[in-house]
Chain A
Amino acid sequence: MTINGWLQIAIYFAILTALAALLGRFMARVFEGERTFLTPMLGPVERGFYRLAGVDETTEQSWIAYAVAMLVFNAAGFVLLYAILRLQDVLPLNPQGMSAMGPELAFNTAISFVSNTNWQNYGGESTLSYFSQMVGLTTQNFVSAATGVALLLAIIRGFSRASAKTVGNFWVDLTRTTLYVLMPLSILVGLFLVWQGVPQNMGAYVDATTLEGAKQTLSQGPAASQIAIKQLGTNGGGFWNANSAVPYENPTPLSNFIQVLSILLIPAALCVTFGRMVKDERQGWAIYAAMSVVFLACVAVSYWAEGSGNPLLHALGLSGGSMEGKEVRFGVTNSSLWSVATTAASNGSVNAMHDSLTPLGGMMALVLMQLSEVIFGGAGSGLYGMLLYVIVAVFVAGLMVGRTPEYLGKKIEAREVKFALLGILVLPLFILGFMSIATVAPFGVSSVQDAGPHGFSEIMYLYSSSVGNNGSAFGGFTGNTPWYNVTGGVSMLVGRYLMIIPVMAIAGALVAKKAAPASAGTFPTHGGLFVGLLVGVVLIVGGLTFFPALALGPIVEHLAMLAGQTF
């Protein structure tokens, strides 16, 4: 741990907060249909899309129609992506002659990208054609992120409207998010990355003869365009196998800074957008503050753990933080900051191998995914997940003082609390359920690389990442088996869609309610007391569920490491 390290972290957070304020306000204008500086250019494109699709942008949908539209769109996206992966050997833009992907792996991959998870049981440069990377994966990187944002807008309207029947138009929200937010930002970030050294070409792999005369094949491709949206859309799927650790994918400290900023930018900015849309920006900042408290605490623990290093290596005469699975240009600070940012957001890209992190560093990543990805979380999905916890928090506050809880002028009643708890509890059920089976079954443990508690952590990481729609991995683990492709795929589906249905039901229930004017007894939800309560609820409900499992994995491993034991 160094002063420079803490300074890099502090500057990162300060710039993130400043940009979140700017982008958040801009997005609020876009989503309310107001004019922005992009309207003259993109307005005609937007209207053209609606005309082609037969969408009337002034007609809104009930929560059920909105949810069904989303499901039909995502199902169509799944079918298209699955077909592309299965047929990539006969499709164009395949200079390396990659063969078609097998059915189980294509199923897992298609669900993975449609659900905004980007879990990868394959290595990009050794498996995928450029056509699959661009037309298949890049497209889903855009629209799965836009889907998450659209769903968030529906529940925000549940709070901001009173006595209404509709929550917006899914097609309009989807189109506006993609055209006005994701596309312009991706172009900026993408070109910045090319400038820093990320390839952007359609050429075949280049054979080099190294200085010592050995042959080295340098994989190429349209990488920068995909990497930009993989970060901005909280997707995280790497163009190359080792993701943003590969120098081509992330060549410099500056490219690293822009990427790790892009990871949290949209989820952070959506807090501000939320505040704007409910006509009280302080409400958004209160949620931002609660997320930041947990985020910064995890960064501090992770940086401390990685900076302190591995005593087993120190015993060999080495000093400093472990560099196994880390890159020199990023060092301990940027590897640890990234590992927390990418798991706080449901991004899942990595610039260091999480499997080789110290036990406590790896545990911070696990905990953030197990809190169901609400500390900033995915684009849209992080904040709607957090709003479930908000509902539980105001309910707990209401119980304490014996009043019907309210949030943003809406009474929170039994129906909303039940749905919120359903949305929160479905995740641990599947993480712990699948994990329990995999830990005792031979087809489960055969995929584990490391013996001892770390092997248990590897299984826990897979299901936490899949259900949380994160997509990062303890990469030593062999996920590409029938059991893990199928249960991993189911986990990603459940983590995404079983959470969405309660969220949309809450949106529908709230939007129909009358606005209740604030009174002297209303619990203020923009102050420090509320922030503290919300953090407490997240940690108690989300965190305690997994404490026994964490005790058997990373905590035992930490103690074993201190005692000098290897496995």
Chain B
Amino acid sequence: MLNHLRPALVLLGAFTLLTGVAYPFAMTGIAQVAFPRQALGSLVEQDGKVIGSSIMGQSFTTDRYFQSRPSATVGPDPADPSKSISVPYNAANSGGSNYGPTSKALIERVSADVEARKAQNPSSPVPMDLVTASASGLDPHLSPEAALFQVERVAKARGVPADQVKALVERSVEPRTFGLLGEPRVNVLALNLALDKVGSQ
């Protein structure tokens, strides 16, 4: 037992220094030089201010913007920090709803969202991802269908032709990687930034 103590303590110390200190610091150094934008969180700046990260979702609620998927993230209640309240797209506390498939709360929430979306666009079927909460609560994407579903509403709110907005969405669709991996998708923040540019022209 005692003869194991020295190797145990020395190796634990050595591995802590190697894998817990040297490795993450070295990786940070290499990453900052080789991929500085990504290493610092892929931040997007506008007029010198950080407006978000290009790979993290953010909340859009007005009709002028394409709206992101529902988010189930929570944050502390400003009135009572021991309680938590719904704070969609809280990037400091990721998480999903975790509702099971037969949860009454899930079906009621989705049902209400479906009705609300139908009122905005009665002509197309409501896309699945537009009324379901993502796993992280920070999904930066919509399916192409969920973006196209919102074209009429956004065009009307901005007073621009719907065809122009639709063309913008179609240009923003990212295909599967190598035509194979993942799913086709639209980055909501990138799409909305492009939309603002169209408006200002």
Residues of A whose CB lies within 8 Å of any CB of B are 4, 7-8, 11, 49, 52-55, 65, 68-69, 72-73, 76-77, 80, 123, 125-126, 134-136, 138-139, 141-143, 171, 174-175, 178, 183, 186-187, 190-191, 194-203, 205-212, 214, 216-220, 222, 224-226, 229, 240-242, 245-248, 251-254, 256-257, 310, 312-313, 316-331, 333-335, 350-353, 355-359, 449-454, 457-458, 474-477, 557, 560-561, 565-567
- With A203-B40, A312-B107 known as contacts, the answer to whether A240 contacts B94 (CB < 8 A) is yes
In angstroms, Cα B138 to Cα A130, docked, is: 22
The interface bits of chain B over 38-49 (1 if a CB of A lies within 8 angstroms of the residue's CB, else 0) are 111111000001
**Is B7 on the interface with A (CB-CB < 8 A)?**
yes
**Is B131 on the interface with A (CB-CB < 8 A)?**
yes
Contacts of B35 in A (CB 8 A): 191, 194-195
- With A8-B181, A126-B93 known as contacts, the answer to whether A218 contacts B53 (CB < 8 A) is yes
In angstroms, Cα B16 to Cα A77, docked, is: 10
In angstroms, Cα B61 to Cα A487, docked, is: 43
Whether the Cβ atoms of B177 and A359 lie closer than 8 Å is no
Whether the Cβ atoms of B139 and A212 lie closer than 8 Å is no
From residue B169, how far is it (CB to closest CB) to chain A in Å? 14
From residue B194, how far is it (CB to closest CB) to chain A in Å? 12
In angstroms, Cα B109 to Cα A337, docked, is: 27
Whether the Cβ atoms of A208 and B38 lie closer than 8 Å is no
Whether the Cβ atoms of A326 and B101 lie closer than 8 Å is no
Residues of chain B from 112 to 134 with CB closer than 8 A to chain A in the complex: 114, 118, 125-129, 131-134
**Is B79 on the interface with A (CB-CB < 8 A)?**
no
Which residue of the partner chain A has the closest CB to B186?
A328
In angstroms, Cα B167 to Cα A115, docked, is: 53
In angstroms, Cα B65 to Cα A339, docked, is: 34
Interface centre among B7, B42, B192, B196 (most CB of A within 10 A): B7
In angstroms, Cα B100 to Cα A359, docked, is: 8
Contacts of A139 in B (CB 8 A): 15-16, 19-20
- With A218-B41, A325-B96 known as contacts, the answer to whether A356 contacts B52 (CB < 8 A) is no
Interface centre among A52, A142, A200, A248 (most CB of B within 10 A): A200
Contacts of A126 in B (CB 8 A): 92-93
Contacts of A557 in B (CB 8 A): 100-102
In angstroms, Cα B43 to Cα A78, docked, is: 37
Shortest beta-carbon contacts, A-B, top 7: A253-B182, A476-B98, A245-B135, A454-B100, A139-B20, A331-B183, A242-B94
9 residue pairs bridging A and B, Cβ less than 8 Å apart: A201-B32, A218-B41, A247-B136, A247-B140, A323-B134, A324-B110, A328-B185, A356-B96, A356-B98
In angstroms, Cα B92 to Cα A241, docked, is: 9
Whether the Cβ atoms of B106 and A324 lie closer than 8 Å is yes
Interface centre among A187, A205, A324 (most CB of B within 10 A): A324
Whether the Cβ atoms of B60 and A219 lie closer than 8 Å is no
In angstroms, Cα B75 to Cα A126, docked, is: 10
Whether the Cβ atoms of B135 and A242 lie closer than 8 Å is yes
- From A4, A191, A356, B99 is in contact (CB under 8 Å) with A356
What size tier do the contact residues of chain B reach?
35 or more
Residues of B whose CB lies within 8 Å of any CB of A are 1, 4-12, 14-16, 18-21, 23-24, 27-28, 30-32, 34-35, 38-43, 49-53, 55-62, 65, 69, 89-104, 106-107, 110-111, 114, 118, 125-129, 131-143, 176-177, 180-183, 185, 189, 192-193, 196
In angstroms, Cα B101 to Cα A355, docked, is: 8
- From A138, A141, A248, B55 is in contact (CB under 8 Å) with A248
Whether the Cβ atoms of A208 and B102 lie closer than 8 Å is no
Whether the Cβ atoms of A316 and B110 lie closer than 8 Å is yes
In angstroms, Cα B176 to Cα A333, docked, is: 13
In angstroms, Cα B182 to Cα A72, docked, is: 44
Interface centre among A199, A241, A322, A327 (most CB of B within 10 A): A327
From residue B47, how far is it (CB to closest CB) to chain A in Å? 10
- With A8-B180, A247-B55, A557-B100 known as contacts, the answer to whether A326 contacts B60 (CB < 8 A) is no
Contacts of B90 in A (CB 8 A): 216-217
In angstroms, Cα B24 to Cα A136, docked, is: 12
In angstroms, Cα B133 to Cα A325, docked, is: 6
Whether the Cβ atoms of A567 and B102 lie closer than 8 Å is yes
- From A72, A186, A210, A350, B5 is in contact (CB under 8 Å) with A72
Whether the Cβ atoms of B94 and A245 lie closer than 8 Å is yes
Contacts of A252 in B (CB 8 A): 177, 182
From residue A560, how far is it (CB to closest CB) to chain B in Å? 6
Whether the Cβ atoms of B42 and A197 lie closer than 8 Å is yes
From residue B75, how far is it (CB to closest CB) to chain A in Å? 9
- From A123, A202, A246, B28 is in contact (CB under 8 Å) with A202
Whether the Cβ atoms of A200 and B8 lie closer than 8 Å is no
- From B28, B133, B182, A256 is in contact (CB under 8 Å) with B182
Interface centre among A49, A139, A247, A458 (most CB of B within 10 A): A247
- From B20, B61, B128, B177, A135 is in contact (CB under 8 Å) with B20
In angstroms, Cα B12 to Cα A135, docked, is: 11
Whether the Cβ atoms of B176 and A476 lie closer than 8 Å is no
- With A212-B61, A247-B136 known as contacts, the answer to whether A199 contacts B39 (CB < 8 A) is yes
Whether the Cβ atoms of B24 and A242 lie closer than 8 Å is no
Whether the Cβ atoms of B51 and A54 lie closer than 8 Å is no
From residue B33, how far is it (CB to closest CB) to chain A in Å? 11
From residue B97, how far is it (CB to closest CB) to chain A in Å? 7
In angstroms, Cα B129 to Cα A335, docked, is: 14
Contacts of B141 in A (CB 8 A): 327-329
Which residue of the partner chain A has the closest CB to B140?
A247
In angstroms, Cα B38 to Cα A141, docked, is: 24
- From A171, A318, A330, B182 is in contact (CB under 8 Å) with A330
- From A206, A226, A318, A334, B131 is in contact (CB under 8 Å) with A318
Contacts of B6 in A (CB 8 A): 53-54
A183-B23, A312-B107, A476-B98 known, 5 other contacts, Cβ within 8 Å: A76-B8, A143-B15, A186-B23, A318-B131, A476-B100
Whether the Cβ atoms of B34 and A191 lie closer than 8 Å is yes
Contacts of A218 in B (CB 8 A): 41, 43, 52-53, 56, 91-92
Contacts of A54 in B (CB 8 A): 6-7, 10
Whether the Cβ atoms of A136 and B39 lie closer than 8 Å is no
In angstroms, Cα B99 to Cα A142, docked, is: 34
Which residue of the partner chain A has the closest CB to B58?
A210
From residue B89, how far is it (CB to closest CB) to chain A in Å? 6
- With A138-B20, A242-B96, A356-B97 known as contacts, the answer to whether A201 contacts B43 (CB < 8 A) is no
Which residue of the partner chain A has the closest CB to B118?
A317
Which residue of the partner chain B has the closest CB to A169?
B7
Contacts of A328 in B (CB 8 A): 69, 129, 134, 139, 141-143, 183, 185
